[in-house]
Amino acid sequence: MRHLRVIRRLVMFLAIIVGGAAAYFARDLLLPLVLAFVLGLTLRPIVRYLERRNVPASLTATVLVGCVIGAIASGVYFLSGPVSHWLDTAPQIGQELSRKLADLRSPVDAVVQASEQVEILTDGGGNSGVQKVVVQQPGLLSRAADNLVSTLTTAGLTMVLLLFLLSSGTLFYEKLIAIMPTLSDKKKALRVVYDIESEVSRYLLTITAINIAMGAVVAVAMAATGMPNPVLWGVAAAILNFIPYLGALAGLAMISIVSLLSFSTLGQAIVPPLLYLVCHIVEGQFLTPIIVGRRLELNSVAILITLAVWGWLWGIVGAVLAVPLLVCIKVFCDNFEELAGFGEFLSASPPRHASEEEESPAPVVGK
């Protein structure tokens, strides 16, 4: 038995390594699949609710996918102007930021000069006979074009897969029940699938609503303080809020830089990032725990590890998908006794000991 446990752990470790390698090298294929799966879990209860009222699943799926595409296209259209303006004025922004931070540049300049001297020494004392090999990197326009094509391909494949997943109705559940050998296995598989779908959908819809409200509050706050393009900051806050911890830090850093450039005095420049920080504290410490509840509250260590892994594998999109995938894993583990230990590790609630369970009073029937 001891050797079997060791072999099982080695097999699990190798499976994790192989899965990580597959996720990294096959990300162009797996990323649309995972995106469609997460969106399908989120929107599936809406399709089922309307299907019970004699609305065809294909019609509901088409309308929902159309709404998602319309929302993305509208956001890109309305935000393209402010974003292009910031990109065009990037050199002036750098010069203005350098001028306002001139008092803090003296230690940095000393480090830069020291690094330049070290580079001169390592180059062989400026020997002109030494040939240098420089690898030419692709230009900014070519990289932007490649990223745009890849993004459009991923988005198009995701929407097509999402349309088929939502319009298939209960076909997936029927296939799942058909392959199960016994009636008890069929019931258990169906219960697990419905539990995962219900919990993940409720979590994602709730978090999405909270993030939209968060973006609206941030936009109003930025407009009240006189920040340029407040709608852009509201949308950025809503999107970045899907990434725990790191998203709030990135938004705070960007607002701090733009605020420092937009206002003449330090007292005025500190107000927008301070309001942004207050909004995130209220949302993260009070609003989200009350609305979402303790059942799906996740361990902060597990969240950071998952963010690091998926961010390394799939970039920003992987960081956005990290927490939804972690919620799926936790709900899946909660439905199997063999994986209950790992599900308990992912939970943020303190573990209940056996003595506490024995001392807890039994529920009163009918009360």
Task: Write the pLDDT tens digit of every residue in 123-155.
Answer: 555 455 555 555 555 554 455 555 667 788 888
203/209 Cα distance (integer angstroms): 10
On the CB side of 100, how many CA atoms lie within 13 Å of its CA?
18
How far is Cα of residue 231 from the mean position of the Cα atoms in its chain? Answer: 21
What phi and psi values does residue 53 have, to the nearest 5 degrees?
Answer: -105, 30
pLDDT in tens, 253-301: 889 888 888 887 888 889 999 999 999 898 888 888 788 765 567 778 8
Q: What is the DSSP string of 193-222?
A: HHHHHHHHHHHHHHHHHHHHHHHHHHHHHH
Q: Tell which residue, 152, 154, 197, has the closest CA to residue 36.
A: 154
Longest CA–CA separation in the chain, Å: 93
What phi and psi values does residue 298 have, to the nearest 5 degrees?
Answer: -105, 155
Q: Tokens standing for 127?
A: 């020997």
**DSSP conformation class of 336:** -
74/67 Cα distance (integer angstroms): 10
- Span 210-222, mean pLDDT? 92
Say what angle helices 171-179 and 183-225 make with each other, to 10 degrees: 140
Query: What global pTM score does this model have?
Result: 0.73
Confidence of residue 220 (pLDDT cuts 50, 70, 90): very high
What phi and psi values does residue 132 have, to the nearest 5 degrees?
Answer: -110, 135
Contact 211, 242 (CB under 8 A): yes
What phi and psi values does residue 347 have, to the nearest 5 degrees?
Answer: -80, 150
pLDDT in tens, 13-47: 888 788 888 888 888 888 888 888 888 888 888 88
- Span 161-167, mean pLDDT? 88
Task: Give the 3-state secondary structure of residue 255.
Answer: helix
Mean pLDDT of the chain: 77
Percent of the chain with pLDDT strictly greater than 70: 75
